[in-house]
Structure 1
């Protein structure tokens, strides 16, 4: 073999489609001293046995964009390299066989329109005309995406590898990586069986081997291998060469044409995990034994759709392991545990569809230190403590696999691996009717059932108003008229301490945190493009210490962002203290009366002003009280040591009885914050949105001569104006808004809703979304248009405004 280079700019581990695509894109970006190492042969891990369907639509705009990039690349890579890829843009069909599935498909079509994709709704006969082999007796309708297609996984990977070599990258097969040399927390080299390559950056694209390999270096990659089977038939009469791919989710199956025959596979509800005790040594170009008994359930469902399969000869039943993840999305990005260690893995059997775009995004992330656009839903930092346990990961992944083709219900919760992380009030709240949801392993009350009204604390899913709608309305009403108590123990909480804590925070935060001790500051943290990386609350509790509170799901991400952006010459340390403190949020117009009844401290408006943090005493407990709100009402977040939670909760409940205090959950928080216009990170705001686009420019310290990360971009945008602006939309209460509905201004598509819900005080359905115009957008532009929302392909009129719907200082409601 050719001798390994002694140095490289970046080393990619793994020669499947993701590794080869990353090498191709890094070389195209000018990193010609990129080296890819494959322990055996290219594609010999899991790529070679992939089914090769390429669909584009996902529920996230940027993941859809990434998959669309794959299609664009596959359209041209054969001409560029001269290697055939088997790529055919033959379109993709998706069937609906019951009314709720048809509603889901129509909502998917609207999502496609929101993201600029063409998706046509078809009658059963129109679908059959495109796919004449199928029986349509149970079909209600179908959707057709003309730009979907299929590819030969091995061929397209080889084309990407050739393109990478043509651009200057070096690829070495039969070169096993045995170790990574790390010194003082920094990557120094990759060690192989054939020698050492000095490098600073490592990109691990090792498929199902990634979790075990990365774990050796403290990096957590939550994926596990699962058996995945598909059948390839002999050629048989009536199979057109241009047949679209077909997904039949109600029968859990998918199909594509293959040399005059069909490939048929699916996602059974009782999947089989593989390699529980580790992947066998030497496993490459290897398949598992065909499991006809297990595949029979899919075969029976398929025969009802394609009767001709009964007489078709079976060429193979391919059983190949694929890596799957606990939430069904892939894993990409720089590991929070090890600088310059990047991961691209866990593609849940859509690695071919994602391969081109994921390689592009990973290459740009490696080169630029940040992704080309917000990839939060696939970011490795979306995981947390439960994901270190492989058994927990496998349990949740089995459920996610089994739901691959089941209905994607709004507000659906996972059932497996629960309960995992519990607040000290879990049992108490459960006894009081709490229906829990789960986030990052935490059990969190979503709503409370009233047994006297015949309610049961269990979600019943639908695309209409769900069974908790009235219960959440009660909680919402109590928050607006009396008081409610939220258990928000799952909040992520950090402490930053040290002589340079203030200097570090003022560099990382867009708002000015140089406030007196006892101040509470709402702030964003920006990237170099001015995008919002974190959205959180910062309390200054000493001259050299800050208390930082952020959302449950952002614990890993936000901790990583803060830690990485503390300048190296500054002396301060960041600690995750999430598990130390319980949080009870007391909110509502009667909150002060209740709090005053349980503490001797002055909680009057003058004595405890909004935007301050102070330690008060309640029932023998030192409580860190934060005067802040996310629901638009008077209130406090009460942060206290976990061992006091039961005592303080009981004291508040007793004091609240004469004031109408009740328990409330996260679904009412969502309804309340929509009315008040508070933004949600990961939906309304994120790395692709700036404070000025999101209506949060007031929280950026541009009037002060203080340098901070993202300042230059913020200044440029403030001077030059914005091309998109977040607005609030309201429509008829009978219209269910979920997010991703298309926004039309004067008949022209201008964006989509980032979040949606219902406002019980205003009696309207509420959505937020960005109105876009490449020529620029301002308040007059937003307010001068006539607007409609497309909801499940139907357009409905709506009103638009930039100010909050609800303001307690102005007789409660603004319209």
Structure 2
């Protein structure tokens, strides 16, 4: 038996494919002082029973990059380690049974072309030729990815484990981690190692870094350290037939409209299911002796899937059943896994919650996490899977049980734009929730917050009717959008994250982290970014100086935990306190050319440009209450954000509503906010700007004060300024008013795809779909960039587009300063 060391640079908890991949990549990066501890046997939790499908295409460039890395790695692993992985690039086919699904597949094919994934759109006849057992009479269309594949998941994990051992890592089975130890530091809590138990023996390993790869045990393991890892196990079913003569090696087949996938293996056929309503498992915890366990059969639950399969592939009518398998896998509230350092505890890293794509994801995830740990920064933008997106309340077990019953099935559901979760709703509500609901609000959810996305007209169904075309709320959005452009709109933006930074060193601390100048007059609002050492954008925010020693930072609700973690990580010895005050104040946004007229009716204060110019905040009287009025905008119009204490929010709303009718006051939702902001080419964090995007290439150099010494990222900005831009953020408008843009459509320059649309919406004032995206420009002038011929590819069809480097709506921002 391998002796258990007393010290290690890193301890990895969990010996599934995720833990083995992290060990392999850390060792490959040169960290040989690594220990992986597995409570039972390697792969004995979920990895051993995974289907082993290796799909390269994901919903974004970086997720696709990780999946492609996995596929490439698995092809080479057997030669490196001598462990056969069963990796075969048999390709995959996804078929559509409806026009809407076909639209989705065609859009995915466009995404594949952007990301250089080999893809072919194929007809039903071509599907039949490649998959003769398949009934294709009702197939509308399909896509084929020839380099996708399948593998033996357990052997992949064993190969990764052997590769880690070959580089010096220690992997020890039947050792349970009973706790993660920690100590207080000047900047907060930090891990110091782990306590372990093996039989009657116990001990401690001192370590700099601990990595939770605990799979379905990961949530409870993290909870013991006060870390949030919201995941929950669900039952996952598949069936394997007896051998079928002449079956051969077929492509992996996905029929998402029937919630099923198929693969041939060793002359047998497998069918697995991602049913619409799943069965959560393990609510009372997981047995101590759980190892290579299966769960009870449930034929009634699987029967609808099997009935469809018997029609789709008639061989299931006659083939004998060899295995009906049911095993647990872990799922997360948003169907994306967790990667990164926990915001609550320094040195505590997570790679868990893979939502049934752990085999295809773990190779790339292990590489990315190892880079992040050893280099101090992620190799590229990983916000989609960043553990810092998790909200503390999401570790609630009742919430998770309800939510994952839906998220398992969403893997094969139609991925319509703006699709909303149906389960576990209503956890976070603003003081105006019932007021807005009574006035027709149709809510969406972000970070648990219920937010009005659009307002139904009287008699209109208050629900989404999803489509890839214009959805049932398109005209509602247009009315709200035009109210903001011509009159006055009112938004409830209470979900904004609000962070108070105060203390003697608050100004100095923020001036180090923010690219813009923080030493401004009291009442001044500063738009800024927090940059990393590469000049990438870690946070996009406004900062208001409330007093000589206090500031209010306003960030998107979805990034609050990320931004808090970034601030706390860099606090160091600064004498300042960082406090989340999100729930203390509501935010009512009064936006539009008649915003000043509306406010003057409910407040005796002066809202003129002379007294209350753009970019300033001050206390006002409103109705019979008080608020702090911030003159800023995210829609490109005259407007104020009203920060109102939660106890007075309903009163202020009612006061505004009572006097706004003849001004055309319109309640507006987040869809209208987004369509207005994209006309003005305002960037959206997580789509248009990320930690991978340089602030100058994002077109945000106006918010950088290079004369200010010592701010984080300054040297990277100076280097980029000297070397020149490699790409530019460009705004596009389709000349045909009919097509829609959402995200990840292809930007085509002079006939060649150059990148994805980072965000899109409909410009109701400009009269067409608007998109933002980066265009390569190395060595080119601005004019050369603009003189090119641009098209946007939507579901395989290319549409002419007009390009601009300045906002197409109000390029000089005159309307903001009315």
Scaled to the shorter chain, the TM-score interval is over 0.9
Give the whole-Å Cα distance in 2 for the aligned partners of 1:202 and 1:573: 27
Give how far 1:652 is off.
1.2
| 3-state SS of 1:722 partner | coil
Matches within 5 A, 1:742-753: 742-753=746-757
Give how far 1:11 is off.
0.6
Give how far 1:690 is off.
1.3
Give the whole-Å Cα distance in 2 for the aligned partners of 1:601 and 1:155: 71
The aligned residue for residue 560 of structure 1 is 565
The aligned residue for residue 786 of structure 2 is 783
Give the whole-Å Cα distance in 2 for the aligned partners of 1:656 and 1:14: 60
The aligned residue for residue 142 of structure 2 is 142
Of 351-360 and 179-188, deviating more is 179-188
The aligned residue for residue 199 of structure 1 is 207
| 3-state SS of 1:406 partner | coil
Does residue 720 of structure 1 match 2:720?
no
The aligned residue for residue 490 of structure 2 is 485
The aligned residue for residue 798 of structure 2 is 795
Give how far 1:738 is off.
1.1
Give how far 1:810 is off.
8.0
The aligned residue for residue 227 of structure 2 is 219
| 3-state SS of 1:8 partner | strand
C-alpha contact 1:89 1:148 (8 A) present in aligned 2? yes
Give the whole-Å Cα distance in 2 for the aligned partners of 1:334 and 1:685: 21
Give how far 1:429 is off.
1.1
Of 576-585 and 177-186, deviating more is 177-186
Q: 1:409 aligns with which of 407, 412, 416?
A: 416
The aligned residue for residue 18 of structure 1 is 18
Give the whole-Å Cα distance in 2 for the aligned partners of 1:385 and 1:181: 21
Q: 1:499 aligns with which of 494, 504, 524?
A: 504
| 3-state SS of 1:199 partner | strand
Of 260-269 and 649-658, deviating more is 649-658
Give the whole-Å Cα distance in 2 for the aligned partners of 1:725 and 1:313: 59
C-alpha contact 1:326 1:394 (8 A) present in aligned 2? no
Give how far 1:777 is off.
5.1
C-alpha contact 2:231 2:400 (8 A) present in aligned 1? yes
Does residue 615 of structure 1 match 2:622?
no
Structure 1 residues 296, 777: CA separation in 2 closer, same or farther (over 3 Å shift)? farther
Give the whole-Å Cα distance in 2 for the aligned partners of 1:589 and 1:162: 66
Which consecutive residues of structure 2, in runs of 5 or more, have no partner in the other structure?
A: none
Does residue 653 of structure 1 match 2:660?
no
Structure 1 residues 809, 213: CA separation in 2 closer, same or farther (over 3 Å shift)? closer
Give how far 1:226 is off.
0.3
Give how far 1:457 is off.
2.3
| 3-state SS of 1:806 partner | coil
The aligned residue for residue 608 of structure 2 is 604
Give the whole-Å Cα distance in 2 for the aligned partners of 1:594 and 1:326: 40
Give how far 1:174 is off.
1.3
Matches within 5 A, 1:368-383: 368-383=375-390
Q: 2:675 aligns with which of 668, 671, 683?
A: 671
Give the whole-Å Cα distance in 2 for the aligned partners of 1:308 and 1:102: 26
Give the whole-Å Cα distance in 2 for the aligned partners of 1:432 and 1:620: 23
Structure 1 residues 594, 115: CA separation in 2 closer, same or farther (over 3 Å shift)? same
Structure 1 residues 646, 313: CA separation in 2 closer, same or farther (over 3 Å shift)? same
Matches within 5 A, 1:231-630: 231-241=239-249, 243-451=250-458, 454-566=459-571, 568-630=572-634
Give the whole-Å Cα distance in 2 for the aligned partners of 1:553 and 1:715: 30
C-alpha contact 2:228 2:392 (8 A) present in aligned 1? no
Give the whole-Å Cα distance in 1 for the aligned partners of 2:309 and 2:741: 34
- Deviation per CA, 1:104-154, whole angstroms, max 9, x where unpaired? 111111111122212110011111211111111111111001111011001
Give how far 1:705 is off.
3.6
Give the whole-Å Cα distance in 2 for the aligned partners of 1:690 and 1:810: 24
Matches within 5 A, 1:37-116: 37-116=37-116
- Deviation per CA, 1:78-100, whole angstroms, max 9, x where unpaired? 11111100001111110001111
Give the whole-Å Cα distance in 1 for the aligned partners of 2:779 and 2:726: 4
Give the whole-Å Cα distance in 2 for the aligned partners of 1:810 and 1:67: 42
Does residue 187 of structure 1 match 2:191?
yes
The aligned residue for residue 767 of structure 1 is 771
Does residue 741 of structure 1 match 2:745?
yes
C-alpha contact 1:733 1:758 (8 A) present in aligned 2? no
Give the whole-Å Cα distance in 2 for the aligned partners of 1:779 and 1:191: 59
Give the whole-Å Cα distance in 2 for the aligned partners of 1:156 and 1:278: 28
- Deviation per CA, 1:714-755, whole angstroms, max 9, x where unpaired? 111111112121101111210111111111111111111001
Give how far 1:369 is off.
2.3
Give the whole-Å Cα distance in 2 for the aligned partners of 1:288 and 1:198: 37
Extract structure 1 runs of 4+ deviating beyond 6 A.
808-813
C-alpha contact 2:517 2:708 (8 A) present in aligned 1? no
TM-score (norm 2): 0.97
Give the whole-Å Cα distance in 1 for the aligned partners of 2:599 and 2:635: 18
C-alpha contact 2:515 2:705 (8 A) present in aligned 1? yes
C-alpha contact 2:337 2:355 (8 A) present in aligned 1? yes
C-alpha contact 1:723 1:777 (8 A) present in aligned 2? no
Which consecutive residues of structure 1, in runs of 5 or more, have no partner in the other structure?
A: none
Give the whole-Å Cα distance in 1 for the aligned partners of 2:715 and 2:512: 13
Give the whole-Å Cα distance in 2 for the aligned partners of 1:595 and 1:609: 15
| 3-state SS of 1:32 partner | coil
Give how far 1:232 is off.
1.4
TM-score (norm 1): 0.97
Give the whole-Å Cα distance in 2 for the aligned partners of 1:645 and 1:180: 43
Give how far 1:628 is off.
0.1
The aligned residue for residue 3 of structure 1 is 3
| 3-state SS of 2:620 partner | strand
C-alpha contact 1:632 1:808 (8 A) present in aligned 2? no
Give how far 1:57 is off.
1.3
Structure 1 residues 777, 91: CA separation in 2 closer, same or farther (over 3 Å shift)? farther
Give the whole-Å Cα distance in 1 for the aligned partners of 2:151 and 2:37: 24
Does residue 684 of structure 1 match 2:692?
no
| 3-state SS of 2:238 partner | strand
Does residue 160 of structure 1 match 2:153?
no
C-alpha contact 2:638 2:815 (8 A) present in aligned 1? no
C-alpha contact 2:259 2:409 (8 A) present in aligned 1? no
C-alpha contact 2:747 2:753 (8 A) present in aligned 1? yes
Give the whole-Å Cα distance in 1 for the aligned partners of 2:95 and 2:673: 36
Does residue 706 of structure 1 match 2:709?
yes
- Deviation per CA, 1:12-44, whole angstroms, max 9, x where unpaired? 001110100100000010101111111111111
Give the whole-Å Cα distance in 2 for the aligned partners of 1:337 and 1:248: 41
Give the whole-Å Cα distance in 2 for the aligned partners of 1:221 and 1:593: 48
Give how far 1:654 is off.
2.1
Aligned residues: 807
Give the whole-Å Cα distance in 1 for the aligned partners of 2:499 and 2:606: 27
Give how far 1:2 is off.
2.0
Give the whole-Å Cα distance in 1 for the aligned partners of 2:418 and 2:781: 33
